[in-house]
Structure formats: structure tokens, C-alpha cells
Structure 1
Amino acid sequence: MIRKLIPIALPVLALVGGAFGGDMLRAPADPPTHEAAAADDHAAPADDHAPAPDDHAAASDDHGGGDDHAAAGEDGWFTFPTQFFVPLVRQGDMGDLMIITLTLQTDGASLEALRKKEHALRDALLRQLLIHANTGGFDGNFTADRNLVVLRQELAKAATGVTDLPIKAVLIEDIARQQG
């Protein structure tokens, strides 16, 4: 009888243990939003000597990072919400895959306009990444500083080619090569 129950009980126990472990490892809940913080401020007694809440610390929306409240003279950063996946094709076969996270440095006033141009910018940057991959740019030691400088310059040129917004630099946040 027990021999018949073990094949059924083991997967159930593994599922419960995995769910419990995943719940324990899950990131903490999101920090309170700006509206929730404002509601808390109204509920608490006013303190004339307390510093004003910092609007610059508010989290950005889901469509890219950056500081939404940056002044025109301050730098702003637009992080693409998803990574770039670049296949490395050699002799018709996809061997490896490059995974890259990019951020554009601009002025604070241009962040919203960059969000509206996200699809055109993503297309231009991915096109340039594919050209870089097909010309051997990710072969060998692709993380050498001189190779990354060339890649950043190519990406900046591609980004400025599709928009007249000021793009000061292209930042490579993450770069990894995954074996195919």
C-alpha cells in the first residue's frame, strides 16, 4: 500500500516545498507609491521642521527608467524595459546568444520624448547590434575596453540617427554571452 502512495506523494511534496521556497525567496513587496506616501503624509501630524519629501526618489513607471522630475539641465537616463537578444550566427547556424541591457543618457527634459520613441530607438539599436555581431564584434574578447568603446560609439550613432533628441551616451548595463 505504501509503495503505491510514494509515487503520488513525492511530487506533491516537491511541489509544496518548491512553492514554499519560492515564496520565501521572493523579493519584498514594492515600496509605497507616491500617492500612498502622500496619503500617509496627510494622516500624520504636520511637523514644520521636517524636511519636505523628495519627489526625485519616486519610482519610475514600467516604460523605462530615469528620473521623471529631472530639470532640463540635469542628466536623465532611459533604461529599455527589456533586454536586447542578439543571435550569433556562423555558417547558417545560431551558436550563441548575446544578452544586453542598454540605457541612454540624455537630459532630464527629454525622458518622456524618448519613451515615445522607444520602438524606433529599439529597432535602430538592435539593427546595429546585429551588424556588430555579423561583422565579428562579439568574437574573442568582446569585453575588452577598446571593443566596448567601439560598440558604444556605433550604438550612439544609431540612436542619434532616428531621433533629434539629445543622447549623450549609450550605457551598457549588462552584457552576457549564452551558449546556444
Structure 2
Amino acid sequence: MKFILPLLLALIGLGVGAGAGMFLKPDADLAEDHATPPPKNDGHSDHAEPTEDTVEFVKLNNQFIVPVVENERVSALVVLSLSLEVDLDERARVYQLEPKLRDAFLSVMFDHANSGGFRGVFTASSNMSALRLALLEVAKKILGPQVHDVLIIDLVRQDT
């Protein structure tokens, strides 16, 4: 009974935070205008780098919510939005496999949280690189070589 009020407050805070995040997120057209172009192929590698003409970015529909557990209680919630860089014409396939992708991504994020990845300076480049690499590995297992990158679009930590 004594856990109902904190849980209710956490859920209300999560709802307000998610609503604010949706309301305040930048317009997709603006984000594409400021996107960094992929690196150019210098002709020295065997693999052709994807270019603007051969890839598209697919934003996953909903945010990911990951609890950070300390001392057997939820001390924070981390909210992430992801996009995938995939070959052209793969958008429908990404959305078709989105439930499987979300499940695999959540497993990676829970492991990241449980290993301390969202504690302290959780936005340090080493933490973010490790998370992106792990997300890319599971995306490639599900989608194959058509996925080139996983982009972390939004990342917010709300302490309880």
C-alpha cells in the first residue's frame, strides 16, 4: 500500500515528461536539413559507404523507457528515441519488424542500465558508443546488412 503513491507519482511524471518530449521535439524536416552527410568513400576500402541517395532514416514510432534500479528500487527513468539508417526502400520492412526490434533494443538497454551505463556521466562518448554498437549489432541480426547505423535522437534521464 505504501508503494502506490510513489508509483503513481512516477507514472504521472513519466506521462508529463513524454508529453513534453513529444511537444518539444524538433520538426523532422528541420532535423534532415541539419543532418551530417555520411563519410565519403575514399576508394581505399572494399566496402562502399552508403550515401544520401542510397539510404533513408526510419524513426521508430515510440520512445523507449528504461528504469535505472539502485538498491532494489527505481532511482531514475531514461527515455530514448531511436532512428535507423537503412538502405532505400527498407522503411516498410523496419516497421514490419518493429516489435521484434523494440524487444531486442529494450534487452540491450536494460543490460546497459544494469551495468551502470545510465549512471553518472551517462552521456560520455564511451558510454554512448558502447550503447550504439550494441544496438547496431542486434539491429543487424534482425534486419541484416541493410541497416547501417542506429541513431540516438533523444535521451533524457528523469531521477525519481
Verify the 8 A CA contact 1:86 1:133 in the aligned structure 2: yes
Structure 2 counterpart of 1:140, one-letter code: G
Rounded Cα–Cα distance in structure 2 between residues aligned with 1:167 and 1:142: 25
Question: Aligned to 1:125, which of 101, 105, 115?
Answer: 105
Give 5+ residue unaligned stretches, structure 1: 1-25, 27-56, 58-72
Verify the 8 A CA contact 1:102 1:172 in the aligned structure 2: yes
Verify the 8 A CA contact 1:99 1:176 in the aligned structure 2: yes
Verify the 8 A CA contact 1:98 1:178 in the aligned structure 2: yes
Give how far 1:86 is off: 0.1
Question: Aligned to 1:85, which of 58, 65, 73?
Answer: 65
SS at match of 1:164: helix
Q: Tell me the equivalent position of 2:120.
A: 140
Q: Tell me the equivalent position of 1:7.
A: none
Alignment identity in percent? 33
Rounded Cα–Cα distance in structure 2 between residues aligned with 1:74 and 1:160: 17
TM-score (norm 1): 0.58
Rounded Cα–Cα distance in structure 1 between residues aligned with 2:119 and 2:159: 13
SS at match of 1:138: coil
Structure 1 counterpart of 2:123, one-letter code: T
Using CA pairs below 8 Å that are at least 6 residues apart, which structure has the higher relative contact order? 2
Q: Tell me the equivalent position of 1:104.
A: 84
Rounded Cα–Cα distance in structure 2 between residues aligned with 1:91 and 1:161: 34
SS at match of 1:163: helix
Structure 1 counterpart of 2:91, one-letter code: L
Question: Aligned to 1:173, which of 139, 153, 156?
Answer: 153
Verify the 8 A CA contact 1:97 1:178 in the aligned structure 2: yes
Verify the 8 A CA contact 1:102 1:170 in the aligned structure 2: yes
Counting only pairs closer than 5 Å after superposition, residues 65-80 of structure 1 correspond to structure 2 as 74-80=54-60
SS at match of 2:89: helix
Verify the 8 A CA contact 1:110 1:165 in the aligned structure 2: no
Rounded Cα–Cα distance in structure 2 between residues aligned with 1:89 and 1:158: 23
Rounded Cα–Cα distance in structure 2 between residues aligned with 1:149 and 1:137: 11
Structure 2 counterpart of 1:148, one-letter code: M
Structure 2 counterpart of 1:105, one-letter code: E
Give how far 1:162 is off: 2.2
TM-score (norm 2): 0.65
Q: Deviations over 1:50-105 (max 9, x none)?
A: xxxxxxx9xxxxxxxxxxxxxxx521111111100000011210010000000010
